[in-house]
Amino acid sequence: MFARSAARALKSQSRLFSSSAARQTKVAVLGAGGGIGQPLSLLLKCDPLVSSLSLYDIRGAPGVAADVSHIDSSGDVKGYAADQLDAALEGVKVVVIPAGVPRKPGMTRDDLFNTNASIVRDLATAVGRVSPEAHILVISNPVNSTVPIVAETLAKAGVFDPKRVFGVTSLDVVRATRFLAEVTGADPANTPVTVVGGHSGPTIVPLLSQSSYGKAITGESYEKIVHRIQYGGDEVVKAKDGAGSATLSMAYAGAKFTNSLLRGLTGEKGVVTPTFVKSPLFADQGIDFFSSNVELGPNGVEKIHEIGPLSPEEEKLLAACLPELKKNIQKGKSFVGA
């Protein structure tokens, strides 16, 4: 009951569960037992474009699967235990990865690198072996490094397709949209904000000047909202006080991005959203992964959009983003030996 009314509410709010075509898809969640994994699995179970859900974790996934499988939507759900990763990946078209440790107060996302890099590398290795055609959506932090790790791991296995590897930066977009709506008193449906760069502090670059509501914000209000968008994750980490980072808003953002990809895969035209992908935009500066608006289509990445005109303030934000992003990307590549 809750799931159906929640799904209806979410659909009307945000097109979270919008579907324009009949073809459906098998989706795996790796890390399904976690703080993000559980609500993400719930939301994906409610997505009509997901025909089958494969839930894997080193602990707890069969329990989550049993629970979620009772929801009265049409998709099948199966849970897999720690030693069943290959079985979990059999026949999947989309793999969402929220596996890994979250931050505690005082930590940066980069502090998670030592633990999460090998988790993500090992999962990518399994995807490359069992379902090399799958689209991989990376949520695990630090995204600026874990996405290059996935790409280089697949490249080493000879199965990397840059159209099929995505860093999920949608939470930055969701936050920017919500915070702008709060400041302006507008409906969030009317305040979408493009966010480019990467996913950590100064690498998060909101392009408020490209929004009719956003461009009206100046001075101290501008500084405040930009800081809130760049450090929104810290707000949640602080409020949870040692119990982890954003899980519910992330599950929402992850389900929303997954639905966008599925709509693109099923042939819907004009599905455009920011995501962190292998990108030519700043490759001449040695930054070959970047988040910008990307059109999603039947093969994944259809078209990478230019970032468009920037205000002088945004030029400064971008200048601060690029060197940090370059370091994070290089760290991920070096981990895989690239």
Q: Which secondary-structure segment (H or E) carries 315?
A: helix 312-336
Q: Give the pair of three-digit tokens for residue 89.
A: 């990946």
Closest CA to 267 of 305, 306, 295, 292: 295
Residue closer to ligand LMR by CB (options 143, 265) is 143
Binding mask 29-68 for ligand LMR (x = CB under 6 A): ----------------------------------------
109 binds ligand LMR (CB under 6 A): yes
147 binds ligand LMR (CB under 6 A): no
245 binds ligand LMR (CB under 6 A): yes
112 binds ligand NAD (CB under 6 A): yes
Between CA 324 and CA 333, with CA 327 as vertex, the angle to 5 degrees is 145
Tell me whether strands 25-30 and 50-56 are parallel, antiparallel or unpaired: parallel
How many angstroms separate the CA atoms of 58 and 115, rounded? 15
Residue closer to ligand NAD by CB (options 33, 62) is 33
Q: Alpha carbon of 4 to those of 66, 162, 255, 256, 325: distances in Å? A: 18, 36, 15, 16, 40
One DSSP character per residue, 67-107 reads HHTTSSSS-EEEEE-TT-HHHHHTT-SEEEE--SPPP-TT-
Residue closer to ligand LMR by CB (options 225, 237) is 237
Q: Give the pair of three-digit tokens for residue 165.
A: 């590897």
Q: Which of ligand NAD, ligand LMR, none does residue 236 bind to, with CB < 5 to 8 Å depending on kind? A: ligand LMR
For helices 143-156 and 113-130, the axis angle rounded to 10 degrees is 40
Q: Give the pair of three-digit tokens for residue 305.
A: 């959009």
Check if the beta carbon of residue 152 is closer than 8 Å to that of residue 162: no
Question: Which residue of 130, 150, 180, 250 would you call a contact of ligand NAD, by CB under 6 A?
Answer: 250
Question: Which residue of 236, 271, 277, 329 would you call a contact of ligand LMR, by CB under 6 A?
Answer: 236
Question: Which residue of 143, 174, 193, 329 would you call a contact of ligand NAD, by CB under 6 A?
Answer: 143
Tell me whether strands 271-282 and 287-297 are parallel, antiparallel or unpaired: antiparallel
305 part of the active site: no
The verdict on whether residue 270 carries a ligand-binding annotation is no
Check if the beta carbon of residue 165 is closer than 8 Å to that of residue 276: no
| Closest distance of CB 233 from ligand LMR, Å | 2
92 binds ligand LMR (CB under 6 A): no
| Closest residue to ligand LMR: CB criterion | 233
Residue closer to ligand NAD by CB (options 29, 49) is 29
100 binds ligand LMR (CB under 6 A): no
Q: Which of ligand LMR, ligand NAD, none does residue 89 bind to, with CB < 5 to 8 Å depending on kind? A: none
| Residues placed in the known binding site for NAD(+) | 31-37, 57, 116, 139-141, 250
